[in-house]
Amino acid sequence: MARNKIALIGAGNIGGTLAHLIGLKELGDVVLFDVFGGVAAGKALDIAQSSPVDGFDAALSGGSDYAAIAGADVIIVTAGFPRMPGMSRDDLLTKNAGVMATVAEGIKTYAPNAFVICITNPLDVMVWALQQKSGLPPHMVVGMAGVLDSARFRLFLAEEFKVSVEDVTAFVLGGHGDTMVPLTRYSTVAGIPVPDLIKMGWTTQEKIDAIVHRTANGGGEIVKLLERGSAFYAPAASAVAMAESYLKDKKRVLPCAVMLNGEYGMKDFYVGVPVVIGAGGVEKIVEVEFLPEEKAAFAKSCDAVKKLVEDFKALGV
């Protein structure tokens, strides 16, 4: 059987890390695309030269010709500009809107049957734009944010409880921004919900509140440290988990930005909710019951996303 083909649009920090991880995991052959074709080709060649050392078989190539993505099974989009210190994700809207329009055109022309994962920020509006402009079915176009946000939440919880990250699950909903909604009662250590762990005296509400705050600002914390760009290792790992679930039909339940069509009482825009990802793309949207304060927080997050969608439309790109 021929190997899967994975196209990466954007060969910057996240794009390069994606290519390396995909090679190491032998998920398929990789085509890197970037407006700077030399960077894409150089990273592809460099990673390919690591394959004999690490013992993986994958063909890697790079360039600036969209024709090379033809027939891709999965496309991961990171094209655009990252945040600099002092910027919010939303500040990237104008810069990245035009980029999405050209990327959507390339995908529509050369790989309309692909499963598309968008990472470019501001995430929820960029993935919406990519779907609208490419015309691909909504269940085949998703945004990566929730896997990353919940990974950050899991790490901070594991550090607090001094347990393995493997035994911590976390649940984060809403837009990828300061309004994201980490749901502590659905977050667990070995199946024990966080509120029960507080009752057991293993931690305190104050410590959990601080962790929730740190999670919501997790990207900004890294931007401040890096000074010249934004996080790339964890975002790449998160998108690879989503791609793997699709390619291997694992049917993992992952928080992703998806187009809502009445679920959670919302419609016609993308926001983060738990979904099942398998060979059919987004196979199911999981709807959980909200407590009143959770419902209010989710609605606030949705309002922030809807406002950005309106701002995008006003740009007339």
The only residue of 235, 255, 274, 281 in contact with ligand APR, by rule CB under 6 A: 235
Backbone angles phi, psi at 160, to 5 degrees: -65, -45
Contacts (CB under 6 A) with ligand APR, residues 6-25: 9-15
- Regarding 67 and contact with ligand APR (CB under 6 A), the answer is no
Q: How far is the CB of 294 from ligand APR (least distance, A)?
A: 26
Is 176 one of the annotated active-site residues of the chain?
A: yes
Q: Binding site annotation covers 15?
A: yes
Q: What is the dihedral of CA 235, 39, 92, 314, to 10 degrees?
A: -120
Rg over alpha carbons for the chain, rounded to the nearest Å, is 19
- List, as one string, the DSSP characters of 199-239: HTTSS-HHHHHHHHHHHHTHHHHHHHHHSSS---HHHHHHH
- Regarding 230 and contact with ligand APR (CB under 6 A), the answer is yes
How far is residue 3 from each of residues 6, 23, 55, 74, measured CA to CA in Å?
Answer: 10, 12, 16, 12
Which position among 20, 139, 176, 213 bears the catalytic label?
Answer: 176
Residue appearing with tokens 């074709």: 37
Instruction: Report the alpha-carbon distance of residue 158 to residue 79 in Å, rounded.
Output: 32
Q: Binding site annotation covers 120?
A: yes
Q: How far is the CB of 274 from ligand APR (least distance, A)?
A: 21
Contacts (CB under 6 A) with ligand APR, residues 102-161: 102-103, 119-121
- Regarding 312 and contact with ligand APR (CB under 6 A), the answer is no
Annotated binding residues, written as ranges, equal 10-15, 34, 83, 89, 96, 119-121, 152
The residues that are catalytic are: 176
Annotated binding residues for NAD(+), written as ranges, equal 10-15, 34, 96, 119-121
